[in-house]
Structure 1
């Protein structure tokens, strides 16, 4: 019984529930099309969120199983249950298959387009785990596309039209976060054995990439606020977004090692967490005021 409890505990840890915060991107559409007061649609997005939690956990389990040989040589990642041998690789892969299949079958109960989004998310991330993460630039673009799929999935789950500018700003924002995470990994690469692909980056290249992506994030978000059919008052949130982006840049350049990247930064940095809550509160207030 104790062994079973230990296995379940290690399985839950490997599912990385703290990373489920990324699936909150599914709520973007229902908030910005002013449908959050519709209980039926809100329930549908919550259901979609749970489905994506299973799907993303399937990917985390698979990715940790694939990366176990590298993680065992990493000072922090070697403590992960799969790398430490506390959760068998076969068991992790089997659980990943079960969670992946569950998320796909469940998604069809929402609608077929949402199911396609879930299948696309899983397929993209399986490719990333086995192949795409080896390639410079393609790896960070793949990560950003995963978030774009989340936003689109949240929209199709409740059958609402999503703004092209919202999709673009999501892509550039998450691309910025992915590039910044790579920079942090490279800054601390001497502490561990760099995984395949990371060594091909340089700090100068990553800084140049962010010099393009960061302005693109701001511009596309600004265009979204100007073109919003619900409230152009959303442009008031632009300075809040600017502060959040600059705060994250500051953290990346001064912080110590963080394996979980943006998720840890958001949850552990009070300034960044407060910025997100203020941005969300002001955005909702402006949308309601315009209505």
Structure 2
């Protein structure tokens, strides 16, 4: 071996620098108003469009006065839902800081103080109740009070109680669907309530099932209560709820059709679109990818097309075409 080769062997190796783990950058401070707005979950506001469900089903969207009142009701219910989110995040700030994704929420990240979140939540709740009672009617205000009370109880305790947690979330959707009819003085059909209630339970149980599947696969952090559920039980719940929702809708469509129809049985035909929509959504539920219902509804093109077809058929039925 040459002297040069020996020198190379004797040269101490340079220590390798450890690879730096890729960490997400800390959340940027956006100011208190922006933090409060983000805490109110703007992406969740699409759910509040359900306030138009009962008036749409009754064919009462052809009046500017009704549309204006529904727009007001949408804003008031958005304020009520935002109040719940603000209180929830203020209460769970410490736990959220230890969570890999929830730590980026404004309250957990320190952009919004818990006191500011509690204060803003209280003001929004009061605004929603007083606005509904004075600008709509007393019963509308009572419904929002009931919604706030139930959702705040969910934040404090009920989200840790098996089955009750799903029932409370389902009730929130049902309240949204009922309140438009109550505000406009529209009688609510029993089949409408059954279809809406079990349709909401279907989506809630599918969401829980998807979260449980992801937790079992180690693909994501999720709520602690899911350790008490089994995927088999959650599958049973969303399948049962889907079946009852379809049955309720069919009975509703057939009962309404008996009262009168145009030259085409549009309500009966709309059952096909409704069933297809449920079956399409069930694909995502079965795969365990229905953890974000609003993402499924807004991003799946076939489901959107089926929804538009259903809406067109129902509009023709309401118009008596």
Q: Same fold (TM over 0.5)?
A: yes
Partner of 1:219: 247
Contact (CA 8 Å) 2:206, 2:290: kept in 1 or not? no
Matched residues, number:
286
Q: Does 1:56 find its partner at 2:81? A: yes
1:29–1:250 distance in 2 versus 1, CA, 3 Å: same
1:115–1:268 distance in 2 versus 1, CA, 3 Å: same
Task: Work out the CA distance in 2 between the residues paired with 1:147 and 1:122.
Answer: 13
TM-fit CA distance, 1:256? 5.5
Partner of 2:178: 152
Contact (CA 8 Å) 2:97, 2:109: kept in 1 or not? yes
TM-fit CA distance, 1:154? 0.6
* Aligned with residue 263 of structure 1, among 281, 294, 313: 294
* Aligned with residue 225 of structure 2, among 187, 197, 202: 197
Task: Work out the CA distance in 1 between the residues paired with 2:221 and 2:238.
Answer: 25
Which moves more between the two structures, 63-72 or 8-17? 63-72
Largest Rg, 1 or 2: 2
Calculate the aligned-residue CA RMSD, in Å. 2.1
Task: Work out the CA distance in 2 between the residues paired with 1:256 and 1:111.
Answer: 40
TM-fit CA distance, 1:257? 8.4
TM-score normalised by L of structure 1: 0.91
Partner of 2:13: none
Aligned ranges for residues 5-84 of structure 1 at < 5 Å? Answer: 6-84=31-109
Contact (CA 8 Å) 1:144, 1:174: kept in 2 or not? yes
Contact (CA 8 Å) 1:179, 1:209: kept in 2 or not? yes
Q: Does 1:237 find its partner at 2:265? A: no
TM-fit CA distance, 1:278? 2.5
Partner of 2:129: 104
1:33–1:257 distance in 2 versus 1, CA, 3 Å: closer
SS at match of 1:37: coil
Task: Work out the CA distance in 2 between the residues paired with 1:147 and 1:187.
Answer: 24
Contact (CA 8 Å) 1:33, 1:230: kept in 2 or not? no
1:199–1:244 distance in 2 versus 1, CA, 3 Å: same
**Cα offsets for 1:171-208 (capped at 9, x unmatched):** 00000100011011111223455434221111011111
Contact (CA 8 Å) 2:140, 2:183: kept in 1 or not? yes
SS at match of 1:82: helix
> Which structure 1 segments of 5+ residues have no match?
none
Task: Work out the CA distance in 1 between the residues paired with 2:281 and 2:162.
Answer: 22
Contact (CA 8 Å) 2:29, 2:111: kept in 1 or not? no
> Which structure 2 segments of 5+ residues have no match?
1-27
